[in-house]
Amino acid sequence: MRRDPAVSIFKALGVPLRLVVFQRVARRPSAAGELAKELPIGRAAVVQHLTILKNLGLVDASTEGHKRIYRVTPDGLSPLVQWLARYGRR
Reported as a single tens digit per residue, the pLDDT across 15-43 is 999 999 999 999 999 999 999 999 999 99
pLDDT band at 1 (very low <50, low <70, confident <90, very high): low
DSSP state letters, 6-21: HHHHHHHHTSHHHHHH
Let me know the angle formed at the C-alpha of 89 by 83 and 90, rounded to the nearest 5 degrees. 105
Q: How many other C-beta atoms are found inside a 10 Å radius of the C-beta of residue 9? A: 21
